[in-house]
């Protein structure tokens, strides 16, 4: 009796403060499953119970707030950097800066990705920075005020009575399919 060959299994590990990084991770998981591969999505607080031996690849998503990524996720990556080095990996950030028209924004996004990798002593196989969302209704008044000013300066939405999805899903999809191309034989 021969054992059945399982399709590759990809872990999607993330942190999310207001939910956009989580939403992106679950959309990526859907695209992975649509291609016949397996995907499991876990938030940072449950990752310590996950064995990387069960996976062929790992995608890591972290939001960026005030120029910083999630420290708990960074520590988990550092603790597992040797195992991650043996897998097909990708790292992405989610921030408003990823959608900035400022010509310096791409360099700033790349710097944040580099700092995450340097701090965790790990090098992702591929990286990306995605624009997130404005969750005005969830922000406290001070954060709402500052984000509205930033959004206005960028020509973005300033109606604080509603949330605004800004994620460019075609960019996320392109990143996902490029990542998945590593599993084609």
Can you give the pTM of this predicted structure?
A: 0.92
Fold category of 9-132+167-183 in CATH: Rossmann fold (3.40.50)
% the chain with pLDDT above 90:
83
Quick check: 93 pLDDT over 90? yes
pLDDT band at 3 (very low <50, low <70, confident <90, very high): low
153-185: pLDDT as tens digits: 888 999 999 999 999 999 999 999 999 999 885
Query: Where do the CATH 3.40.50.360 domains begin and end in the chain?
Result: 9-132+167-183
- Residue by residue, DSSP assigns 30-75 as HHHHHTT-EEEEEEGGGGGG--GGG-SEEEEEEE-BTTB--HHHHH
């Amino acid at each position: 009796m021969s054992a059945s060959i399982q399709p590759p299994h990809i872990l999607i590990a993330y942190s999310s403060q207001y939910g956009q990084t989580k939403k992106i991770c679950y959309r990526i998981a859907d695209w992975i499953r649509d291609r016949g591969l397996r995907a499991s999505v876990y938030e940072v607080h449950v990752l310590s119970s996950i064995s990387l031996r069960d996976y062929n690849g790992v995608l890591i998503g972290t939001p960026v707030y005030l120029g910083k990524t999630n420290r708990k996720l960074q520590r988990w990556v550092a603790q597992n950097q040797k195992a991650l080095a043996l897998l097909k990996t990708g790292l992405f950030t989610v921030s408003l800066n990823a959608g900035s028209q400022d010509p310096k924004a791409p360099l700033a996004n790349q710097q944040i990705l580099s700092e995450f990798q340097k701090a965790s002593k790990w090098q992702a196989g591929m990286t990306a920075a995605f624009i997130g969302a404005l969750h005005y209704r969830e922000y406290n008044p001070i954060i709402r005020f500052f984000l509205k000013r930033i959004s206005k300066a960028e020509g973005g939405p300033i109606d604080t009575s509603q949330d605004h999805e800004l994620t460019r899903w075609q960019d996320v999809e392109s990143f996902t399919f490029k990542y998945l191309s590593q599993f084609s034989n």
